[in-house]
Chains A and B, each alone.
Chain A
Amino acid sequence: MSEKLKIAFYWAASCGGCEVAVLDIDEKILDVVAIADIVFWPVAIDIKYNDVRAMEDKSIDVTFFNGSIRTEENVELARLLRAKSKALVAFGSCSCSGGVIGLGNLSTKEELLHRAYNTSDSTVNPDQVRPQLQYKEVHIPDVLESNYALDQVVDVDYYLPGCPPKDTLVWNAIEAIATGQLPEVGAVLAPNLTVCHDCPREKHDERTIKEFRRIYDFQPDEVKCLLEQGLICMGPATRSGCDASCVSVNMPCRGCMGPTDQVFDQGAKMISVLGGLIDSDDPEEVKEIISTIVDPVGTLYYFGVSKSLIKQSGVKKEVRQ
């Protein structure tokens, strides 16, 4: 290859953890710089949006896009980077499936703003002051009505899920790009297996849940399956690739890797699993057991409200040709 690859990184509505995840590949970042030029990376290098606008279309080889789409600015940059990039990779749970902030879709924009600027516990705002979108010549991008995954706004070529994506997956993706061995467009750059497949815990195939518990209620057994102990572990409905990191340290899986290829709706699959595990045949008792789940959507769709079947049906995107 005579010319170096051109790579861009961008963060939309994200926490910044994905930016750190890029550096989790440690000294291999030097190998990346050896084969590629980083042409745009707001967190690390000083290049303005106008410099990107001035680039030729399809001049960036790969763009890693993390964060979901929550503001007008996010939409603009998603469309801009789509136009300038040959391949667009949704990097991290937020851009793959809407992420944790997708839970904001359970409230309206107005409710969220009201909570943030008026009623939150740390706010003192007797004059009901809100940020203005327009001040003289300055325009601040507005918050959108909903929170979207990247592929609900533009076409996405590859998905690299995880909160944040595991360093091994990031490195595999970069190697695949460098050697030109990328899979079919639309592929998820992680194994198509569930977390349970990698999980070292003992499973007994029994119905044992009499009550749902949360991680701070008790000290879970370190060997037994967490689901059998009444913790909602999203492992059976979640893609592997994380080496079962959370379950290995006694934390139930929260589902950040999203569902496997065969699953349409991660939460629905988990409901299916739990239906087989609750240990009661009495409808009234079942109701009582289920009422011990404090926040069903927040538990079953921790990272995927934006991509859940119900929420997603509002955004019918044209099918890629």
Chain B
Amino acid sequence: MVVTKEENVKQTDWEPKIIGFLCKWCSYSAADLAGISRMDYPPNAIFIKVPCSGRVDPTFVLKAFADGADAVFIAGCHLGDCHYIEGNYKAMRRYELLKATLKQMGLDERRFRLEWISSSEAKHLKVFVTEFTEQLKELGPIELPTLAPLAKEEI
């Protein structure tokens, strides 16, 4: 059983919810390795296994935000290492464009990140998730720039 040490978890009233899309060939294996190696990191991130970072449709990211995620990240193989040759390049291009779009919509760009984590970099994953969680605790809960709810009174 993995027991997270008390001092590694800062106690707060509110915990950020992070959704991560992890490529099964690298970042998800890194998460497995982190688990096997008994590494401690905050439990705020929910990992979703995808076949490739190039499989992450921008719709997934928007859906995650729309359904209440405080932050979203995509993790894939380092550039040049994609199992499908160019999936992570596509992810990188989509990420930049989606980030610009979200920023214009009024969403803090620090809530959406892209990270390259190979399957041996369990430590990198641990540091990334820890730092991201800390940063989000400073940012506080997300205020999604949605439409104002409409009063439902009947005529």
Q: Do A and B bind each other?
A: yes
Question: Is B94 in contact with A313, judged by CB distance below 8 angstroms?
Answer: no
CB distance from A315 to the nearest CB of B (A): 5
Question: Is B155 in contact with A152, judged by CB distance below 8 angstroms?
Answer: no
Given that A80-B155, A281-B89 are contacting pairs, would A267 and B101 also be in contact in the complex, using a CB cutoff of 8 Å?
A: yes
Contact of A271 among B101, B147, B149, B155 (CB under 8 A): B101
**Contact residues in A for B32 (Cβ distance below 8 Å):** none
Question: Is A297 in contact with B150, judged by CB distance below 8 angstroms?
Answer: no
0 or 1 for each of A120-162: is its CB under 8 Å from B? (1 = yes): 0000000000000000000000001111100011000000000
Question: Is B150 in contact with A290, judged by CB distance below 8 angstroms?
Answer: no
Contact of A293 among B92, B100, B148 (CB under 8 A): B100
User: Is B154 an interface residue, CB under 8 A from the partner?
Assistant: yes
User: Is A75 an interface residue, CB under 8 A from the partner?
Assistant: yes
**Contact residues in B for A146 (Cβ distance below 8 Å):** 147-148, 150
User: Is B146 an interface residue, CB under 8 A from the partner?
Assistant: yes
Question: Is A269 in contact with B59, judged by CB distance below 8 angstroms?
Answer: yes
Question: Is B150 in contact with A153, judged by CB distance below 8 angstroms?
Answer: yes
Nearest CB in chain A to that of B101: its residue: A296
Do most interface residues of chain A lie in helix, strand or loop, or is the interface mixed?
helix
User: Is A300 an interface residue, CB under 8 A from the partner?
Assistant: yes
User: Is B9 an interface residue, CB under 8 A from the partner?
Assistant: no
Interface residues on A, range: 35 or more
Nearest CB in chain A to that of B155: its residue: A79
**Contact residues in A for B150 (Cβ distance below 8 Å):** 75, 144, 146, 148, 152-153, 315
Contact of B79 among A264, A281, A313 (CB under 8 A): A281
Nearest CB in chain A to that of B56: its residue: A272
Given that A144-B148, A148-B150, A310-B65 are contacting pairs, would A297 and B91 also be in contact in the complex, using a CB cutoff of 8 Å?
A: no
Given that A264-B63, A268-B62 are contacting pairs, would A145 and B148 also be in contact in the complex, using a CB cutoff of 8 Å?
A: yes
User: Is A276 an interface residue, CB under 8 A from the partner?
Assistant: yes
CB distance from A281 to the nearest CB of B (A): 5
Considering the chains assembled together, what is the distance between the CA atoms of A43 and B66 in angstroms?
38
Considering the chains assembled together, what is the distance between the CA atoms of A111 and B61 in angstroms?
28
Question: Is B148 in contact with A276, judged by CB distance below 8 angstroms?
Answer: no
**Contact residues in A for B89 (Cβ distance below 8 Å):** 281
Considering the chains assembled together, what is the distance between the CA atoms of A274 and B63 in angstroms?
19
CB distance from B19 to the nearest CB of A (A): 14
Question: Is A265 in contact with B148, judged by CB distance below 8 angstroms?
Answer: no
Other than the known A275-B90, A309-B59, what 16 A-B pairs have Cβ atoms closer than 8 Å? A106-B104, A145-B148, A152-B150, A264-B59, A268-B59, A272-B57, A272-B58, A274-B94, A276-B90, A283-B79, A283-B92, A295-B104, A296-B101, A311-B147, A312-B147, A313-B67
Where the two chains meet, the residues of A that have a C-beta atom closer than 8 Å to any C-beta of B are 75-76, 79-80, 83, 105-106, 144-148, 152-153, 263-265, 267-269, 271-272, 274-276, 278, 280-281, 283, 286-287, 290-291, 293, 295-297, 300, 306, 308-315
Where the two chains meet, the residues of B that have a C-beta atom closer than 8 Å to any C-beta of A are 57-59, 61-63, 65-67, 79, 86, 89-94, 96-98, 100-102, 104-107, 144-150, 154-155
Complex A-B: 10 CB contacts under 8 Å: A144-B150, A146-B148, A265-B58, A265-B59, A272-B58, A295-B104, A296-B100, A310-B105, A310-B107, A312-B66
